[in-house]
Structure 1
Amino acid sequence: MLSTLPIMGGTGFLVTLDIALRGGAIALLLIVAIATLRRGRGRPAAWLGALLAVGAAAYMICSSPGPHGDPPLWFAPVLVLCTGNAAVFWLFARALFDDSFQLKPWHALVWLGLAVWPVAHLFGAGITTHWLVGVAVRVAVIVLAVLALVQTVRGWGSDLVEGRRRLRLFILIAVALHIAVTVTVELAFGHDHVPMGLHVLNSAALAAIAAIIAVLLLQADLDSVLPAPAVAEAVAPGAAPAEDEPVDPGLLATLERLMAVDRLYRQEGLTIGVLAGKLGLPEYRLRRAINRGLGYRNFNEYLNRHRLADAKQALADPSQAEVPILTIALDSGFQSLGPFNRAFKTDTGVTPTEYRRTATGRNGA
């Protein structure tokens, strides 16, 4: 996964083409990084995406073909960016595809654990030369890449943001294919004996990915794709963004009736596909209505808003004071107590027991 500073060797058209493709990809990735930072307005997903692009540019340098010697000390930042990019990719996927994700100090330690290794190796730390350490780092890189892909797939079905759903598919295909091909080639030929033609194909693939990302970024509405910052400008659930195109008010009224009157959110196994079938609509139209018409970014968030309102009403009802909280959770549409407690605490800041005690004036649960 990680190589030291390459010394370009050999001559000919393939070497020149490889250098040109890598140079073009690096330029595109740096443009992507700058554009993401400028348009991301300080969102964690934006600066993580910019750091990911810079790390990918560093990888284009680190993975260059040629005999591998010991790099100079000034090359240490490039090695850090290259090796730590697996952790950045994982964090970027979490920040982009999980609206509730928040960066924690230990996330930085994951990145640091990867980034320190090449620097320590560069400065001659003895333990870094042990083969077990090298294996551990490579395994960590693979695990983080897999976790990022899992995060990309998780929640795909309930994601209501069209641009973000397309981005999930692109990341899944591009990254999965690149990892599979890279690992297969290195296992077949060995890292230092990969034919120059395959290096050129790798460079061309990475340049194409960088170009696609650059085009998508120029066309994308980042305000809709990136999770909203946790400040006053964020759009509250249930309030449609002002700049979104109008949605059929009749469809919104039907959705409101199904939730408020029929309480369809209580139905077990309710998915956006099932709901679209009941309405006789394509899924994309229903996704667009809930996202653009009601301001929700995730279908489960939309359902849980109704489920929590139902549970709050039951918990505040004196006639249901003896009903177990588990029963209320299940009756509201939650599948188990754990997810209900977490969603309730996130929404209200208190546990269901505390909420019931306050709402009914009781001294016990």
Structure 2
Amino acid sequence: MFPGPAASPLFLIDLALRSGAAVLLALLAAVLLRDHGRQTAARLGAGFILSALAYVVSSAPGFDLAGPLGWPLGGLAVGVNVLFWLFARALFDDGFRPRPAHAVLWLAIVLMGLVQTASESLGPAPVAAALGTLRAVQAAGFALAAIAQALASWRSDLVEPRRRVRLVVVAAAFAHTILTVIAAVATRGRPAAPERLADVAALAVIALIAAWSLLRTDASGVLGAAPRQAAPATRDLDPAERKRLAELERLMREERLYRQDRLSIGEVAHRMGVAEYRLRRLINQSLGERNFNAFLNRFRIEEAKTALADPGQAEVPILTIALDAGFNSLGPFNRAFKADTGATPSDYRRTQLGGDLPNSKLGAKRASG
């Protein structure tokens, strides 16, 4: 598979780096599947890692792309960027669930990789170069989408280890993708030995960082939601924490601070006179919440449920109830409400009021709920 004449010092360094990266990647995938195989983020992470492993092998100097392993490994290697994006979504969004459309997208990218692999060995050079450039463009696109996902929810993330993982793993993978794009564009999809060596060296460093991060953090808390703890009163809180927790509850239940538009955890911490990281830790460890917006939505949904079950508010439009509770629009409210109760707001209201809704308002409520 690898020709003998290529055994130069540069080739040997490249081979050593690839071997080390491959071993680390294989171990990471095995650990994720063994210890956290039931969690979506772990399965997608393992898929991403195995796809990266296919890239390490298929991009090696002298690898026979026309051989029996060339086409499947080449195709899987192209799919690494899609899986990286899906892994980032599952890791940083607790409500994310893969859909069939995601599998179709991954398959389309893999098929493009198979076509590129065939063109490398059978097709004309311009076609292979064009496909190589297209591969670099899609890699950059999915990397940017993954980084956008990480940044979009970073401020509301209450899981401190996961916040660190965002900065370490995602930033490193993004840097590697950018290097890959630059190399692919500069060499028109056909990187030479020095570019390949720099590429695999970066990947080996990323594999080391990922392994180190996984071993030093509680991966179960990072990769998936832990069960919400029963009640803060049952936890062993020191007096200062109990005081902060009581103040937080007062702000939410008495002042209804959750109604404030675009409320951030920094604003709440400022109102309480505590450091933001202390408030994040308090909400996460004492209340079992993993996301600040989800924490706020718990109070918003509670208020909305009370209003929807109130006969005196039977004629109040559901949109008004949603806005009064702190939601910015009806769509997010409907999704959050159904996720919490299993029913749409209009169905919940109808059930709570025994179906006794004014006929003149029934159609409007069905449309809005």
Q: TM-score range by the shorter chain?
A: 0.7 to 0.9
The answer as to 2:210 corresponding to 1:209 is: no
Identity %: 45
1:183 & 1:176 partners in 2: Cα distance? 11
2:16 & 2:30 partners in 1: Cα distance? 21
Query: Where does 1:340-359 land on structure 2 (aligned, <5 Å)?
Result: 340-359=333-352
Matching residue of 1:325: 318
The answer as to 2:29 corresponding to 1:33 is: yes
CA contact (8 A) 1:8 1:65 kept: no
Please state how far the C-alpha of 1:289 moved relative to its aligned partner: 0.5
Relative to structure 1, is the Cα distance of residues 262 and 237 closer, same or farther in structure 2, using a 3 angstrom cutoff? farther
Relative to structure 1, is the Cα distance of residues 121 and 41 closer, same or farther in structure 2, using a 3 angstrom cutoff? closer
Matching residue of 1:116: 111
Please state how far the C-alpha of 1:173 moved relative to its aligned partner: 1.8
Relative to structure 1, is the Cα distance of residues 245 and 50 closer, same or farther in structure 2, using a 3 angstrom cutoff? farther
Query: Where does 1:3-82 land on structure 2 (aligned, <5 Å)?
Result: 10-65=6-61, 70-82=65-77
Relative to structure 1, is the Cα distance of residues 58 and 156 closer, same or farther in structure 2, using a 3 angstrom cutoff? same
Please state how far the C-alpha of 1:64 moved relative to its aligned partner: 2.6
CA contact (8 A) 1:73 1:122 kept: no
2:131 & 2:205 partners in 1: Cα distance? 33
Please state how far the C-alpha of 1:167 moved relative to its aligned partner: 1.1
Task: Identify unmatched segments of 5+ residues in structure 2.
Answer: none
Aligned partner letter, 2:204: A
Range with bigger deviation, 41-50 or 272-281: 41-50
Structure 2 residue corresponding to 1:335, chosen from 317, 328, 333: 328
Relative to structure 1, is the Cα distance of residues 309 and 70 closer, same or farther in structure 2, using a 3 angstrom cutoff? closer
Relative to structure 1, is the Cα distance of residues 109 and 192 closer, same or farther in structure 2, using a 3 angstrom cutoff? closer
For the residue of structure 1 that corresponds to 2:227, the secondary structure is: coil
Matching residue of 1:275: 268
Relative to structure 1, is the Cα distance of residues 6 and 138 closer, same or farther in structure 2, using a 3 angstrom cutoff? farther
Matching residue of 1:163: 161
CA contact (8 A) 2:37 2:43 kept: no
Matching residue of 1:307: 300
String of CA shifts for 1:218-242, please: whole Å, max 9, x gaps. 11211211123xxxxx5137657x9
Structure 2 residue corresponding to 1:151, chosen from 143, 149, 152: 149
2:82 & 2:26 partners in 1: Cα distance? 19
Range with bigger deviation, 289-298 or 92-101: 92-101
Query: Where does 1:171-250 land on structure 2 (aligned, <5 Å)?
Result: 171-192=169-190, 194=192, 196=194, 198-228=195-225, 235-236=227-228, 246=237, 248-250=241-243
Please state how far the C-alpha of 1:110 moved relative to its aligned partner: 1.6
String of CA shifts for 1:215-272, please: whole Å, max 9, x gaps. 11111211211123xxxxx5137657x9x98572222111111111111111122100
Q: Aligned Cα RMSD in Å?
A: 2.9
Relative to structure 1, is the Cα distance of residues 104 and 135 closer, same or farther in structure 2, using a 3 angstrom cutoff? same
1:320 & 1:121 partners in 2: Cα distance? 62
Structure with bigger RCO (C-alpha 8 Å, 6+ apart) = 1
The answer as to 2:98 corresponding to 1:103 is: yes
Relative to structure 1, is the Cα distance of residues 350 and 298 closer, same or farther in structure 2, using a 3 angstrom cutoff? same
1:180 & 1:284 partners in 2: Cα distance? 32
Relative to structure 1, is the Cα distance of residues 193 and 114 closer, same or farther in structure 2, using a 3 angstrom cutoff? closer
1:337 & 1:285 partners in 2: Cα distance? 33
CA contact (8 A) 1:237 1:294 kept: yes
CA contact (8 A) 1:164 1:225 kept: yes
Relative to structure 1, is the Cα distance of residues 335 and 149 closer, same or farther in structure 2, using a 3 angstrom cutoff? same
Structure 2 residue corresponding to 1:86, chosen from 68, 81, 88: 81
Aligned partner letter, 1:211: L
TM-score relative to the length of structure 2? 0.85
CA contact (8 A) 1:55 1:85 kept: yes
- Equivalent pairs, count: 352
1:269 & 1:317 partners in 2: Cα distance? 27
Task: Identify unmatched segments of 5+ residues in structure 1.
Answer: 229-233
1:116 & 1:165 partners in 2: Cα distance? 35
